[in-house]
Structure 1
Amino acid sequence: MFQIPYEQTGYFSKLMIDYLGKNNQLSSLYNRFPSIENFKDQILEKQTNFSSANREILAESLQNQYAHFSVTAATQNNINRLKDTTTFTVVTGHQLNLFTGPLYFLYKIVSTINLCKELKKTYPEYDFVPIYWMATEDHDFDEINFFNFNQKKFQWNKEVSGPVGRLNTDGLQAVFEEFKKHLPLGNHANELANLFENAYLKHHNLADATRFLANELFGNEGLVIIDGDDVALKKLFIPHIKEELTNQSSFKEVEKSYAILKDAIIQVNPREINLFFIEDGLRERIVFEDDFYKVLNTELQFTREELLHLVDTNPEKFSPNVILRPLYQEVILPNLCYIGGGGELAYWLELKEVFTLHNITFPMLLLRNSVLLATEKQNQKRAKLNLSWEELFLKTDEFQQKKTKDFAQNIFDFEQQKQFLKEQFAALKEVALQTNKSFIGAVNAQEVKQIKGLENLEKRYFKAERLKNQDHLDRMLDLKIALFPNNSLQERVDNFSTFYVDYGKEMMDILLENLNPLEQHFAVVVL
């Protein structure tokens, strides 16, 4: 395995690099930085801020959610352990992407499992349970209805509305048949076909299909999969739903983070009310207008008393949006740490004051592992082409420019010449100021023309060098394109099936063996 520091990859935001570097300006936006030694204080804080009664409800709800599934001994043991006051969770969350979607779905869960193992080694007196939170109440179907296998997109076309976890799986037979046509013979193709068929054609809704699939991939590691669209769990969230409806306080609390995040892109903007109203086929925002609470795009409206009564009797009809979902998660779980991608952690950094308001412990935030998977054949080709992994992470234009310079036998330093020209024109401007100021315009125009001419010569020079070494450069580019599809990170494009078809479950074992979520490096793993 080869590792590259995140800041050297060019794929991570300044905010994430500052966070990983423990920039003092961000310290007020999180509770504790996720170093192994800091977990002890997080454990003690959460232990005092999570009741045994909630643990019993959580364990019973999970037992009910798994009622019609084959549960591994490891997962069942972890569900039972959640009743104990010495057991804590590490959580990652993800959308219900078709057939898991991009590869980083796996990396999130592997990071979560491996962190639990590291914590157990350091704190053997406690137990740690890896949790995958299914985003069943989401409604962005277009973001989850496809996956890419061997450069082909397989898409589930369907008219939908409401929370995606409740969607029936009608229409996936056609996707399955198309997928099977493109599976190669032998290797692990039959395993993949059976995995898709058993998940999506033998379960009636997307939540159950996703639970089955994640359980098949990671059940032996004790992964516990939770669905927040649950009546008993929503009852635990009732006081927080009421606070949001009556005081609309999250809006003000999130805005407190903006002054610190002023140089970063704000990931999510709060609403005055950060709750949806959900039923089968319906998930719409709740707004307060003309002294009534209204559900957008419906005829539904409630007085304050009516809506608060509905919260008490039917809390499952209220769904937190992206601002309140993290709070809901931490209310119902004895959680220590949330593991997510850079964009996720960026919006979590907006939320600490919301947790303070509700008196809920803010979890530690850990960036998930990022991985580039390469075959042994690709690694051998890289070595033969004398390419470093760092070079392959360069954007395509920069990569071509660098390798062209490397090929060039007679290197001409255009930057030096441009600097020389600028110095000459600076001296000429000094002379112009002492003679006739009207001469300045002509000098400036000539400077622009000369610099532009030099830049054009530079482009033609490198084009000529590229043409001279085109075959060699093309072989390099073929490898780069294979490893970085669409000039993007592989983990954001390819589905796990692309590699599983050749390596099977060994692929999972390799990831579990190699990834350490507490190491702040991008991992290159050769299969």
Structure 2
Amino acid sequence: MEVECIPFKETGYFSQLICDYLDQKKDLSPFFNRYPLPENFEDQITEKAANYPKAHRKVLVNALKQQYQGVEISKATQKNMDTLSKETTFTVVTGHQLNLFTGPLYFLYKIVSTINLTKQLNEKHPKNHFVPVYWMATEDHDFEEINYFNLHGKKVLWNKKASGAVGRLSTEGLEDVFEIFSAELGNLGLTDNLKELFKKAYLEHPNLAEATRYLANALFGNEGLVIVDGDDKSLKELLIPYAKKDILEHTPYGKISETIESLQGVSSDYNIQVNPREINYFYLKEGFRERIILKKGKYHVINTHIDFTKEELLKELDEHPERFSPNVVARPLYQEVILPNLCYIGGGGELAYWLELKSYFDEVGVTFPMLMLRNSALLITEKQFEKVEKMGLKVSHLFMKQHSLINKKIRDISNIDIDFSPQKQLLEEQFQHMYELAEQTDKSFLGAVKAQEVKQKKGLDALEKRLLRAQKRKLKDHVVRLTDLQNELFPNQSLQERQLNFSEIYLEMGEDLIPLLLDALDPFSKGFTVLRRN
């Protein structure tokens, strides 16, 4: 196996905000606490240790014991859960939706990044202990985002009417999905392992949260991964004072709105990922999760007939905190309140909305975690790599948009020059003389000269495009082979990690897949990882 890294900004798949963050642009320093460099973790440990209540550890450990009842726990995970009661233990966290059978490949990359960071921290800081945590997004209600995965270019879909928190959804009906999955896999090679994994996860557990816990534990339990479900009354009790400030005082709405304005002041190219609401909580019961809004002096749960006075709402929050579900703005705070966490590892979109939150954390006195971009990877076989080389390309070229890649290749192999830049430059020089002439004679001709220059440049552009199209037809075989290869590695003109399910790679690599990722992916990597495999 060989590893190559391509700078993130050169791939074309990362936003300007994330590229600037990775470059540690000075103007972004107010929006994060410490950049995740190895030498910065010591100060983060000190700050979090001073700011994480001892009582929270006991609540966390007890909640985990309850959540893991009936789960076969590895020695590594049991050790990590036990050490969480010690004041010298800290976590590194990643979070993800409960995608069916893990969803796209990057689910694995997020967890591998998290595990590998804790390994490096354990080596560098032997007086402390570091635990990798996967936070299950059990309270999300966007079922359409998680009810499928792709296999061999086909969508394996869980077709079900669903509402409310996805973690509470019954797994009833997944027998039909299992049959479709099994038929697509066939009966050769490693298919039995995948069928058994799916069956045990989804057909032997009553709801999606328990099924996902089983699956993540089966894949990563030996690495000591600890899985947390935030849909838990005892954990929500720790959130009560922060929920009150949100609902009654609209604290995050004010602070985050100011931050968004400041971010856009740094660069108009920064896309804002999420916008805060005046109240950033849902009301959660079986079958529904609906926003709480202030309406005519009462707290109303939209799409229901439920209303609370201020006193009734506070009583409900104190007695039933499990019924209050944080949205995308409030959930990060919840996570950092209940965990002794140092660092959050996520994708570009996630980090973009975390960068909106620091002033809110400062306002409520919770330590803001370090933010690390998860590893990204392209898995390429030796045979595919040989094809790239035979075409005279680099793997980095395959990240280009397909039309640009084809144009580049045609220009490279064509026996005629399809670049009209010299002609355009000559044209500009000729028109420069005409501009000077018009200035000396009659300036009213300047507009006419400019119009003629534009017209002739457009003519050259049109000729260049026609010639390129003609060469594409002539060199059709090259175009077909190139597009076929790019489509293999970038299905649907997207990153492999966002399209393929791990099962497709597992069919070729089996149990070597996760060890390969653990060995190859460095959380401190500054680029997109290309992994060549046999």
- Normalising by structure 1, what TM-score? 0.98
Match in the other structure for 2:466: 460
Deviation at 1:477, TM superposition (A): 1.7
Q: Does 2:519 match 1:517?
A: no
Cross-structure match for 1:171: 173
Task: Say whether the 8 Å CA contact 2:12–2:400 is kept in structure 1.
Answer: yes
Distance in 2 between the 1:423 and 1:25 partners?
Answer: 41
Secondary structure of 1:132 counterpart: strand
Letter of the 1:410 counterpart: I
Residue 96 of structure 1: which of 92, 95, 98 is its match? Answer: 98
Task: Give the structure 1 partner of residue 353 of structure 2.
Answer: 347
Q: Which residue of 231, 247, 250 maps to 2:252?
A: 250
Partner-residue secondary structure (3-state), 2:185: coil
- Would you say how many aligned residue pairs link Structure 1 and Structure 2? 527
Residue in 2 that maps onto 1:25: 27
Q: Please show how residues 272-421 of structure 1 align to structure 2 within 5 Å.
A: 272-421=278-427
2:507 to 501, 504, 518: 501
The answer to whether structure 1 residue 219 and structure 2 residue 221 are counterparts is yes
Q: Return 5+ residue gaps in structure 2 as ranges.
A: none
CA distance in 1: counterparts of 2:391 and 2:133, whole angstroms? 42
CA distance in 1, matches of 2:394, 2:181: 35
The SS at the match of 1:256 is helix
- Identical pairs, percent: 54
Q: Deviations over 1:115-167 (max 9, x none)?
A: 00010111111110000000011011111111001111111111111111111
CA distance in 1, matches of 2:303, 2:391: 59
CA distance in 2, matches of 1:364, 1:422: 52
* CA apart distance, 1:412: 4.8
* 2:127 match: 125
When structure 1 is superposed on structure 2, of 433-442 and 365-374 the one drifting more is 433-442
Deviation sequence 1:338-369 (CA, Å, 0-9, x none)? 00000000000000011011100000000000
**Alpha-carbon distance in structure 2 between the residues aligned to 1:420 and 1:133:** 61
Q: How far apart, in 2, do the equivalents of 1:100 and 1:122 lie? A: 31
Q: Which residue of 2 aligns with 1:268?
A: 274
Whole-angstrom CA distance in 1 between matches of 2:380 and 2:175: 32
The answer to which of 360-369 and 398-407 deviates more is: 398-407
Aligned partners of 2:11 and 2:396 also within 8 Å: yes
Cα distance per residue 1:162-189 (max 9 Å; x no partner)? 1111111122111110111111432211
Q: What is the rounded CA distance, in whole Å, between the counterparts of 1:376 and 1:439 in structure 2? A: 62
Aligned-partner residue type, residue 516 of structure 2: I
* Matches for 1:416-435 after TM superposition, within 5 Å: 416-435=422-441
In the aligned structure 2, how far is the partner of 1:443 from the partner of 1:185? 72
DSSP 3-state at the match of 1:360: coil
Task: Supply the AA of the counterpart residue of 1:323.
Answer: V
**Alpha-carbon deviations, 1:215-270, whole Å to 9, x = none?**
11000000001000000000011111111111011101101212332121110000
**3-state SS of the aligned residue for 1:365?**
strand
Q: Separation in 1 of the partners of 2:414 and 2:68?
A: 63
Consecutive unaligned residues in structure 1, runs of 5 or more = none
Q: Compute the displacement of 1:409 (Å).
A: 2.3
Cα distance change of structure 1 residues 30 and 283 upon mapping to structure 2, 3 Å threshold: same
Counterpart of 2:85, as a letter, is K
RMSD over aligned CA atoms reads 1.2
The CA distance in 2 between the partners of 1:65 and 1:111, in whole Å, is 24
**Does the 8 A contact of 1:99 with 1:147 survive in 2?**
yes
Deviation at 1:377, TM superposition (A): 2.1
> Matches of 1:384 and 1:455 in 2, distance apart?
31
TM-score (norm: length of structure 2) = 0.97
1:192 aligns with 2:198: no
The one-letter code matched in structure 2 to 1:508 is I
